[in-house]
């Protein structure tokens, strides 16, 4: 559900006169408070081992439970995107990143508690120590390396992750 439909009352004064202001904001006609629903920052990692296999995870929770994903998640307050990438990788796989290199970003809509949250998903290429043991943790049901040739974008449940995998496969085809 779009936030404009979900939030009917002004969070500042409680007025029912919380009206659409523009495509990303609502304004209270009584107190003047304007709420902007700007994108949240999120990160995801492309991690290849020495065999050219990609680390993929299976989502343990909604949205898209049971589908493939890349390690990642939301950026916390007072945290850089690189710090978030390192933290999420450790939380979800138990692995410490040796390097974290920014690649590109994509917009996304992440549905949580019946609310469409706009996100800006930042993708990184990360490296792990040789023979790093990865294990599923946090909101990951399974993690494993699979040959990149066997990676199928349609198996990834989140739109921006699917688009990012498609992009990386296109780039790999140009090599």
Domain map (residue ranges) of the chain? 3-36, 40-173
Task: Identify the pLDDT of residue 6.
Answer: 87
Q: How far apart are CA 46 and CA 126, in angstroms?
A: 6
**pLDDT on residue 175:** 56
Q: Output the CA torsion 69→143→59→43 (10° steps).
A: -40
- 94-129 pLDDT tens trace: 999 999 999 999 999 998 888 889 999 999 999 999
Is 40-173 CATH 3.40.1050.10? no
Tens-place pLDDT, residues 70-103: 999 999 999 999 999 999 999 999 999 999 999 9
pTM above 0.85, yes or no: yes
């Amino acid at each position: 559900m779009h936030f404009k439909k979900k939030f009917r009352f002004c969070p500042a004064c409680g007025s029912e006169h919380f009206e659409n202001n523009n495509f990303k904001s609502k304004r209270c006609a009584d107190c003047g408070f304007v709420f902007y629903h700007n994108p949240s920052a999120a990160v995801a990692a492309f991690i290849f081992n020495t065999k050219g296999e990609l680390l993929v995870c299976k989502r343990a929770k909604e949205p898209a439970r049971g589908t493939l994903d890349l390690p990642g998640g939301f950026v916390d307050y007072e945290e850089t995107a690189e710090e978030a990438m390192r933290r999420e990788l450790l939380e979800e796989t138990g692995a410490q990143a040796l390097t974290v290199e920014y690649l590109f970003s994509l917009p996304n809509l992440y549905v949580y508690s019946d609310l469409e949250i706009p996100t800006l998903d930042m993708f990184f290429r990360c490296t792990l120590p040789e023979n790093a043991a990865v294990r599923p943790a946090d909101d990951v049901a399974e993690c494993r390396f699979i040959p990149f040739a066997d990676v199928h974008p349609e198996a990834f449940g989140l739109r921006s992750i699917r688009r990012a995998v498609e992009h990386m496969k296109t780039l790999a085809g140009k090599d």
